[in-house]
Structure 1
Amino acid sequence: MKFRVERDVLAEAVTWTARTLPTRPPAPVLAGIRIVASAEGVLTLSTFDYEVSARSEIAAEVSEAGEVLVSGRLLAEISRALPHKPVDVVLEGTKVTVTCGASRFTLLTMPVEDYPALPVMPATVGTISGDELTSAVAQVSVAASRDDTLPLLTGVRVEIEGERITLLATDRYRLALRELTWSPDRPDISEVALVRARTLSDVAKSLGSAGDVSVALATGAGVDLIGFEAGGRHTTSLLVDGDYPPVRRLFPDETPIHAVVPTQALLDATKRVALVAERNTPVRLSFTDGQVVLNAGQGDDAQASEALEALLVGEEISVAFNPTFLQDGLNALGTDFVRMSFTHPNKPVEFTGQESLEGDSLSHYRYLLVPIRFAS
C-alpha cells in the first residue's frame, strides 16, 4: 500500500473517524483505525467498537492499493502535528511509514484480518438540515441521563411521523421535547428509535456543518440500527433496546399561572445567585406582580438574592430549582424571553421560548423541570 494525500484532508478525516474509538476497547484491534486505499484514488478510513461505526472517504493519489490497521489515537495525534505539506504513507512489511516534509514516523500495524466487518448502512429514510439537527439535538440531549445503570434514559427517543420528527429525553428530573420537520423518502413513514444521547450529540456536531444529513434506519429486522451520512462521512449506531417510559403525559394540559422573564437576564442572575448555593442546594424563585426575586443560601450560610423584572399572569408563586438544571434549560431555549408555566409550586414547571415579552409561546421546544420542595 502506498499513497499521497494532503495533510489537512488526512488530519480532518482521521480525527473525525477516530473520535468514536473506545477508551477501553474490549479487543486490542478495536483501538485501531482501518485504512483502505483503492486503485480508484479513494482512501477509506473506518472504526468500529461493535456499537458505533464511523467511515470517512477522501481523495488520494494511490500508487499501490491495499489496507492496513494502525493505532487510531496515535495516527490522529500525528496527523494533526504534521507540517502543512503533502503526506506520503507506505506499508512496508508490518510497519507503516508516514512522511511529511522533514517529519517521518513509523507505526506498527495490527492484524487487519482480525478486525470486524463494519455493519451495512441501512436504507435511507430521509434527509434533514444539518444545522437544524445540531440545534435540536443540543436542546434535547441536556435532559438525557448520564447514569449508565439506567441505559434507557441515556437515550434520545426519536419519533418519526411523516414530515415531523420529535426528539424526547429525560433523566427523571427534567424532560426535553423538540419538534422539527424534515424530508422523508416516504410521506407515510412512522418509526420510533432510541439512540444513545452521546452518540447522537456527537453525530449532530460532527455532521451538522456538512449541509443536509441523510438518515438511515433499520428496525424490527434482527439488528436495529440507525445511520447518518453527509459529505463522504458515514456513521452507524445500534439502537438502545427497551420500552421508553410514556413521558409525554407529564406535560400539563393546563397551566393557570405563567411568568415571562428575559432569558439572558435570568440565566446571568441564576449563575450569580448560585455561587453561594452548596451542592444539592436549590435556587428559589419568588414571582410577584412585575418581578421575580432569586434567593440562595439560608441560615448561617452565605446568602444571595437578586430581583428581575418579570411579567406574571395569575397568582403569586414561589418555586425552587436545581440551579444547574435551570441553567441548562435556559441555555437550550435560544429565545430572548422564557415563559415558565406553573400548575402548583411542587409540580413540574414547563419552560418555553418567546420572542417578545407579551408574544406567543413557541411550542416546538419544551423543557419540563421538576422543582425541589422547600420549607415555606
Structure 2
Amino acid sequence: MKVRVERDLLVESVAWVGRSLPSRPSVPILAGLLMEASEGQLTLSGFDYETSHRVTLPAQVSDPGRCLVSGRLVADIVKSLPHQVIDFSVDGAKALLVCGTSRFTLQTLPASEYPELPAQPPSSGVISSDVFARAVSQVAGSASRDDTMPVFTGVRMEIEGSTITLLATDRYRLAVRELEWEPDEPTVSATTLIPARALSDTAKAMTGSTLTLSLDKDAAGGDGLAGFAGEVSGGSRWTTTRLLDGSFPKVRNLMPEPDAIQTRVRIDTTTLVEAVKRVALVAERNAPVRITFTADGATLDAGNGDEAQASETIETHLTGDPVTVGFNPTYLLDGLHAIGTPIAHLAFVHPTKPAELTGATNLEEAPQTSFRYILMPVRLHN
C-alpha cells in the first residue's frame, strides 16, 4: 500500500472517523483506524460496535492495499505535521508516514481481525444538511446524559410523509422540532430513537451538502440502524448508528393546548438572556430564578435572605393574567439560545404547569411553532 494525500484533508478526515473510536475499547482491535487505498481514493473507517464512521477522500494511489493502525496515534501525528503532502506506505507489519522532513514508523495491527462494518441501510430520502444540523442542535441539548436511563439519551425521530419531527427530553424540559424533507416514498411512516450524541456529531460533520437519511425499516430499535451519508469538502462521509431500544415517554401531552393558555409574554431574547445570566450569579446550584410577569414588566429574583441576592426588572409585553414562576436558569438559557430569534414568546397555562417557549422575528409576528421548548417550572418556596 502506497498513498499520497493532502495533509489538511487527512487531518479533518482522521479527526472525524476518530469520533467513533472508543477511548477504552472492550476489544483492543477497535482502537484501530482502517485505511483502504484504491484507485484515486483513500477510505478511512472506524467502528465501536455501536457507531461506524467512514470517509473517502481523493488521493494519489500508486499501490492499492489496506492496513490497520492506531487511530489516536495517527490523529495526533497528522495534526502536528506541516502543511505539506503526506506520503503513507506499508511494508509488512510496519507503516511509514512521511511529511516534509518528518518521518514516523508505526506498528500495524492485524487488519484481518477487524470487524466488518455494518452495511448502510437503504436510502429513505434526502434533506438539506444545514437545515438538519440546525434542527438537531435545537433538540439534542434537551436529551439526558444519564446512561442509566438510555431511552432519555436519545432523540425520537417521527416521520410522516414529508415531515420529520424530532423530540428529546430529560424529564425537566422537552424540545420539539418539525422540518420538511424529501422522502423516497411520499407515504412513508416511521419512528426511531437515535442516540443524541451520535446524531449531533453526525449532523455537525455533514453540513454544506444534501444529506441522505437511511433507516432500517425492519427493526425499530435494539438491532436497528440509522444511516447518514453526505458529500463534504474533500470527500464523502457515511455513518451508521445503532438505534436505542425502549419506549419513549408520551410527551406530547406536556405541550399546552392553545385554548388553555392564560398568559402570553413577548420579550426581547437578548435582554432576557443577559438578565437571567446576571441574576443567576447569586443562585445556589440547582436553585431557581424567580420571575414575576406583570403588565409593568418582568422582575427576576434569585438568592435568599441569608446569602447574596439579586433582582432586575426588564420590559415585556404581557397578554392575560400576571404570573410568577420559577425556572432552572440553565434550562431556561438553553431554550432561549435554541430558539435563535430576536423575540422570545412564553406561554403559561398555570405557574405549576409546563411553560412553552417559542420564537418570533418581531413583536407583532405570531410565534413560530416549528420549534417548541417546553420547560417544567421549579416549585417556589415563600
Counterpart of 1:12 in structure 2 is 12
Counterpart of 1:296 in structure 2 is 302
Q: Distance in 2 between matches of 1:219 and 1:233?
A: 22
2:31 maps to a residue whose letter is: A
CA displacement 1:318-375 (0-9 Å, x = unmatched): 0001110010000001111111111111111110111112320110000000011112
Q: Distance in 1 between matches of 2:282 and 2:21?
A: 40
CA displacement 1:47-99 (0-9 Å, x = unmatched): 00001000000111111111110111111111111111111111122111100
Counterpart of 1:266 in structure 2 is 272
Q: Distance in 1 between matches of 2:332 and 2:256?
A: 19
Percent of matched pairs sharing the same residue: 51
What is the 5 A alignment of 1:80-99? 80-99=79-98
**RMSD of aligned C-alpha atoms?**
1.0
Match of 2:330, SS state, is helix
1:183 maps to a residue whose letter is: E
Counterpart of 1:36 in structure 2 is 36
* CA deviation after TM superposition for structure 1 residue 223, in Å: 3.3
Q: Distance in 2 between matches of 1:315 and 1:229?
A: 49
What is the 5 A alignment of 1:306-345? 306-345=312-351
Q: Distance in 2 between matches of 1:295 and 1:258?
A: 20
2:18 maps to a residue whose letter is: A
Given that residues 280 and 289 in structure 2 are in contact (C-alpha distance below 8 angstroms), is that contact kept between their aligned partners in structure 1?
yes
CA displacement 1:153-205 (0-9 Å, x = unmatched): 00000001111000000000000000000111110010111000000000011
Counterpart of 1:161 in structure 2 is 160
1:333 maps to a residue whose letter is: I
- Indicate which of 205, 209, 212 corresponds to 2:210: 212
CA displacement 1:103-157 (0-9 Å, x = unmatched): 0011111111111000000000111111111110010011101110010000000
Q: Distance in 2 between matches of 1:37 and 1:85?
A: 20
Q: Distance in 2 between matches of 1:374 and 1:41?
A: 65
2:216 maps to a residue whose letter is: A
Q: Distance in 1 between matches of 2:174 and 2:20?
A: 27
Q: Distance in 2 between matches of 1:46 and 1:236?
A: 11
Q: Distance in 2 between matches of 1:119 and 1:48?
A: 9
2:363 maps to a residue whose letter is: L
Q: Distance in 1 between matches of 2:10 and 2:134?
A: 28
Tell me the TM-score normalized by structure 2: 0.96
Match of 2:267, SS state, is strand
Q: Distance in 2 between matches of 1:307 and 1:322?
A: 18
CA displacement 1:210-256 (0-9 Å, x = unmatched): x1111011032593100000111000000001111111111121211
2:268 maps to a residue whose letter is: P
Q: Distance in 2 between matches of 1:17 and 1:230?
A: 14
- Which deviates more from structure 2 when the two are superposed, residues 6-15 or residues 290-299? 6-15
Match of 1:121, SS state, is coil
Tell me the TM-score normalized by structure 1: 0.98
- Which deviates more from structure 2 when the two are superposed, residues 278-287 or residues 17-26? 17-26
Counterpart of 2:252 in structure 1 is 248
Match of 2:207, SS state, is helix
Q: Distance in 2 between matches of 1:165 and 1:68?
A: 40
1:246 maps to a residue whose letter is: K
Counterpart of 1:130 in structure 2 is 129
Post-superposition, which runs of at least 4 consecutive aligned residues in structure 1 deviate over 4 A? none
Given that residues 326 and 377 in structure 2 are in contact (C-alpha distance below 8 angstroms), is that contact kept between their aligned partners in structure 1?
yes
What is the 5 A alignment of 1:169-188? 169-188=168-187
Q: Distance in 2 between matches of 1:272 and 1:57?
A: 47
Q: Distance in 2 between matches of 1:23 and 1:321?
A: 36
Given that residues 177 and 370 in structure 2 are in contact (C-alpha distance below 8 angstroms), is that contact kept between their aligned partners in structure 1?
yes
Q: Distance in 1 between matches of 2:230 and 2:71?
A: 22
Q: Distance in 1 between matches of 2:12 and 2:144?
A: 30
Q: Distance in 2 between matches of 1:374 and 1:304?
A: 16
CA displacement 1:239-286 (0-9 Å, x = unmatched): 001111111111121211111111111011101110101101110100
Given that residues 262 and 350 in structure 2 are in contact (C-alpha distance below 8 angstroms), is that contact kept between their aligned partners in structure 1?
no
Counterpart of 1:49 in structure 2 is 48
Q: Distance in 1 between matches of 2:323 and 2:277?
A: 21
Aligned residues: 374
